[in-house]
Amino acid sequence: MTPVLDGLLLIDLSTGIAGPYAAMLMAEMGAECIKVEPEEGDPSRGLPGFFVWNRSKQGIA
């Protein structure tokens, strides 16, 4: 079965919780998701759920 969002490219520029969480859901439904962070890293990296909210994504700084 083909994932619902297969073939969709999503560029994630969000920080915090809501944006990364929404992008995570779309990535898990088949979208190719690229998280773009500043060179110093996402300010949310210190939050306990950062790696959960940003799973299934590729990253670039």
Query: Which pLDDT does position 17 carry in this prediction?
Result: 92
- Report if pTM > 0.85: yes
Do 34 and 59 contact (CB within 8 A), yes or no?
yes
For residue 40, which amino acid is it?
A: E
Q: How far apart are the first and last CA of the chain?
A: 33
Task: Give the domain extent around 34.
Answer: 9-60
The number of domains in the chain is: 1
Q: Is residue 32 part of a domain?
A: yes
Give me the pLDDT at residue 49, please. 92
pLDDT in the model for residue 13: 96
Is 36 inside a domain boundary?
yes
pLDDT in tens, the chain (61 residues): 789 999 999 999 999 899 999 999 999 999 999 999 999 999 999 999 999 999 999 999 9
